[in-house]
Structure 1
Amino acid sequence: MRSLTQRRAGKVTSSNIRYADVKPVNGPGMGSVQQWLQTTIKKTPVSVETPSTRELSLQAGVYGALMVLTYVNGTSTLSVTPNAGG
């Protein structure tokens, strides 16, 4: 009862009791997940290759053509709609 009265008065010596509803940043299960993830990342081989100039220009051309097609498709308006009729 005395400890309850002290907590209500704000006289707590342990910082864990004052904010008991706040969960700690490193929970009990977090260490094992982080360790598992770190070992998996270290074992995974990663290689990054830059594309050649020809491949890059081909991809840029296709992307540009698709952008133009999308823009033209969005701005074009048809006077006759297929579902309009009576």
Structure 2
Amino acid sequence: MAYFTWKETGLTADCASLEAMAARFEEAAALMRRMAVEGFELELSSEGQRITHPDPAVFEAYGFVSEESPVRQLTLLSGTEPG
């Protein structure tokens, strides 16, 4: 299953005002709500929070890059037909 680790280390670091900070958080919240509707899920692991989706095509459509091991990614690809 495709995933990436969520680490918030500066979502608002470049914001110059409280309004800009609020807008940034609102944008992020809207994106996360949309992702939840599209089937993304949050998994907790010893390495942190992972955002996952069972369909690699949907995952990639959002522009995310999977952190799965290359061997696992190749296993997923080998099961698909060229389109």
TM-score (norm 1): 0.28
Larger Rg: 1
Q: Tell me which protein shows more strand as a share of its residues.
A: 2
TM-score (norm 2): 0.29
